[in-house]
């Protein structure tokens, strides 16, 4: 009902403003929705919309992966999974939990897996990208550190809108199959809202990306693009 990417249902849906008016009587409102196959969290108070300062909108990614492809990621690159929400009176916390198996085989993913980092060659533009799927405006900055000889530790990455490379690879693989039953080719979502990027320092061959969520949990992901290995952990 609230916070759909690209439009605000409060303004365009028939009864959107009426719902918002009624819900304004409550101290905290969290609207949870699925179906859109992406992760998207909107904090109205951080979006310059004081009229809805008590409302947050959450769209939850699809537990079975991308629509039709049924892959291990959704169309915004979020791994298949679900949210765990803890409510204690007026205190509410949540985290995204990636599914721990794919086709019955354990993939070793746990609650510490909250971002995916891409090397400077993955997008072909020399930037390091990070997809932080549960990010919202109350998280801390996404901080980047690499091993370049003159590197500055903890540089903030810039948030952009683009596509997730892992999902693009799923699309490309499906489109290359003979006899693809899709009516039209699968195309990656180019408006992913939780992507970040930065130019690595000169001579860098590895990096670490860190971010702290709104509840104080700190996550880290490391990437060595010489060996193309990654590791993810919660600190």
Residue 24 has which token pair? 């304004």
- Based on the domain organization, do 128 and 228 belong to the same domain? yes
Average pLDDT for 157-167: 96
* Residues 226 and 119 reside in one and the same domain: yes
- The residue out of 21, 41, 60 marking a domain boundary is 60
Same-domain check for residues 120 and 44: no
More confident residue, 32 or 211: 211
Domain that holds residue 52: 1-60
> Which is more confidently placed, 96 or 6?
96
Residue 91 inside a domain? The answer is no
Same domain, 229 and 153: yes
- If asked whether residues 41 and 115 sit together in one domain, one would say no
Q: Is 143 a member of any domain?
A: yes
Residues 119 and 227 in one domain: yes
Domain tally, the chain:
2
pLDDT for 97: 92
Task: Look at residue 48 and tell me if it is in a domain.
Answer: yes
How much is the mean pLDDT over the chain?
87
For residues 192-221, average pLDDT: 97
What pLDDT does 46 receive?
83
- According to the model, what pLDDT value does residue 180 have? 65
Classify residue 185: in a domain, yes or no: yes
Cβ pair 164, 188 in contact under 8 A = yes
Residues 222 and 116 in one domain: yes
Query: Is 81 contained in some domain?
Result: no
Q: Mark which of 27, 44, 60 sits at the end of a domain.
A: 60
Tell which wins on pLDDT, 101 or 124.
124
Cα(221)–Cα(229) distance, rounded to whole angstroms? 11
The per-residue pLDDT for range 124-153, each reduced to its tens digit, is 999 999 999 999 999 999 999 999 999 999
Shared domain check, 201 and 125? yes
Which band of pLDDT confidence, cut at 50, 70 and 90, is reported for residue 13?
Answer: confident
Query: Which residues are bridge partners to 56 per DSSP?
Result: 30, 43
> What percent helix, strand, coil does the chain show, rounded to 5?
10, 35, 55
Q: What is the pLDDT of residue 48?
A: 67
Residues 48 and 114 placed together within one structural domain of the fold: no
Are 131 and 116 in contact by the 8 Å Cβ rule? The answer is yes
Quick check: is 154 in a domain?
A: yes
Please indicate, yes or no, whether residues 133 and 204 belong to a single structural domain of this protein. Answer: yes
Please, which residues bridge with residue 195 across strands? Answer: 131, 160
At 40-96, the pLDDT tens digits run 998 888 876 667 888 898 999 888 888 888 888 999 999 989 999 999 999 999 999
Residue 29 in any domain: the answer is: yes
What are the CA-CA distances from residue 146 to residues 2, 24, 168, 198 (Å)?
38, 45, 26, 11
Q: What is the mean pLDDT of residues 192-205?
A: 96
**Do 213 and 117 share a structural domain?**
yes
| pLDDT at residue number 175 | 86
- Higher pLDDT: 169 or 68? It is 169
Instruction: Note whether residue 96 is domain-resident.
Output: no
């Amino acid at each position: 009902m609230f916070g759909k990417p690209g439009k605000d249902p409060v303004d365009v849906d028939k009864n959107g403003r009426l719902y918002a008016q009624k819900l304004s009587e409550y101290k905290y409102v969290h609207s949870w929705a699925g179906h859109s196959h992406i992760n998207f969290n909107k904090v109205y108070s951080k979006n310059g919309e004081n009229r809805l300062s008590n409302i947050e909108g959450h769209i939850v990614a699809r537990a079975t992966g991308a629509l039709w492809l049924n892959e291990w990621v959704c169309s915004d690159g979020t791994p298949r999974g679900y949210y765990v929400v803890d409510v204690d009176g007026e205190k509410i916390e949540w985290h995204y939990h990636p599914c721990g198996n794919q086709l019955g085989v354990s993939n070793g993913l746990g609650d510490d897996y909250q971002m995916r980092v891409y090397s400077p060659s993955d997008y072909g533009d020399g930037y390091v990208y990070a997809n932080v799927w549960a990010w919202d405006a109350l998280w801390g900055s996404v901080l980047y550190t690499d091993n370049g000889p003159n590197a500055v530790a903890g540089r903030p990455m810039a948030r952009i809108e683009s596509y997730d490379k892992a999902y693009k690879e799923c699309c490309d693989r499906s489109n290359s199959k003979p006899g693809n039953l899709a009516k039209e080719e699968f195309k990656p979502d180019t408006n992913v809202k939780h992507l970040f990027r930065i130019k690595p320092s000169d001579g860098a061959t590895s990096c670490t990306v860190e971010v702290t969520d709104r509840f104080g949990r700190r996550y880290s992901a490391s990437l060595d693009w010489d060996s193309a290995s990654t590791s993810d952990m919660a600190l």
